[in-house]
Copies of this chain bind each other. A is one copy, B any other.
Amino acid sequence: MAAKSERPARVVALAGGVGGAKLAIGLQAALPRGALTVIVNTGDDFEHWGLTICPDIDTVLYGLAGVNNSQTGWGRDNETWNVLTEMRRLGGESWFRLGDKDLGLHLLRSYWLDAGANLTEITDRLRRTFDVPSRILPMCNEPVRTLVHTDEGTLPFQDYFVRRRCEPVFLGLTFVGAERAKLTPDITEALQSAAQVIICPSNPYLSVDPILSVPGLGDLLQDVRAPVVAVSPIVGGRALKGPAAKMMQEMGRSTSPLTVAEHLGDLLSGFVIDRRDRALAQAGLLNIPTLATDTVMSDLPSKRRLAEEVLRFGRSLVDDGG
């Protein structure tokens, strides 16, 4: 077992898009090269202009490659929009903003998918091209598509999220195709060999639940020896990004880290909340080990600092637990 012990302790992160990618960037900066594996939601994937688009994979990929647009959190830096402009002129759909560089990747991935490669292989090829040291694993290779049930009817995820800007009242979700999805060998291996598992501050319903909808993945996470620590995406009663708080309200739940912790339930060995929510822990409302710290990540140093604190907290849970 010498070879194994020489390898740096491996960390697996579960992530959706912008919020999750931020902590993944911090984790990659905090860990030895190659120690991080990110399992990414693909429930947001969709077909547009005849291409398969994987928004969360790309947000994580571009973020870890350091080529993301740091203003928006998604898309490429120094992006141009010449194809989109022409597409609009020709009467094509232009509500989903695909930049030119971004489009190069979508074209290539769609071409490779059509040629029979699976999403895990393609994502690995891409992250190597971008010189990303961390592994990026799609939650599965089969298409899973999040449908959002709302008071205005059922909408494909991107219609709800981008086109309708999350305005319709949220009623529930279906992850179409999840029952046919298969746990990939890469995910099984990554989780079984992980020293720590971190659920990034992503939307628990839209980003984490689709990952857990892959048959066997939730059970594997439950049984994994490594501590599982989630970072709350709800800070001070608000979602830092996206519709998580609005969705909680519409479900009649409090917009609180408590709702996140309850939702993830007994998957968690520990929970990280923001300093401003520490009263929850002090009041004993969270019945799991909890770290309260500054969870708002504005720049690389703050991403890395939070990552280091989360990793230290995770290690402490192992030491405590024996």
Interface residues of A (CB under 8 A from B): 49-51, 80, 82-87, 89-92, 100-101, 103-105, 107-108, 110-111, 114, 125-126, 129
B50 touches A129 (CB 8 A): no
- When distances are taken between beta carbons in the complex, the residues of chain B under 8 Å from A92 are 104, 107-108, 111
- When distances are taken between beta carbons in the complex, the residues of chain B under 8 Å from A114 are 50
Q: Which of B83, B85, B111 contacts A50 (CB 8 A)?
A: B111
Q: What are 19 A-B contacts defined by CB distance under 8 Å?
A: A49-B107, A49-B108, A50-B51, A50-B107, A50-B111, A50-B114, A51-B107, A82-B82, A82-B100, A82-B104, A83-B101, A83-B104, A86-B105, A87-B107, A89-B104, A90-B126, A91-B108, A91-B129, A92-B107
Q: Which residue of B lies closest to A88 (CB)?
A: B104
- When distances are taken between beta carbons in the complex, the residues of chain B under 8 Å from A51 are 50, 107
Q: How far is the CA of A104 from the CA of B86 in the complex (A)?
A: 6
Q: How far is the CA of A169 from the CA of B87 in the complex (A)?
A: 40
Q: How far is the CA of A306 from the CA of B91 in the complex (A)?
A: 35
Q: Which residue of B lies closest to A114 (CB)?
A: B50
- A-B complex: 8 closest residue pairs judged by Cβ atoms: A86-B104, A82-B100, A50-B111, A86-B101, A87-B104, A92-B108, A83-B104, A49-B107
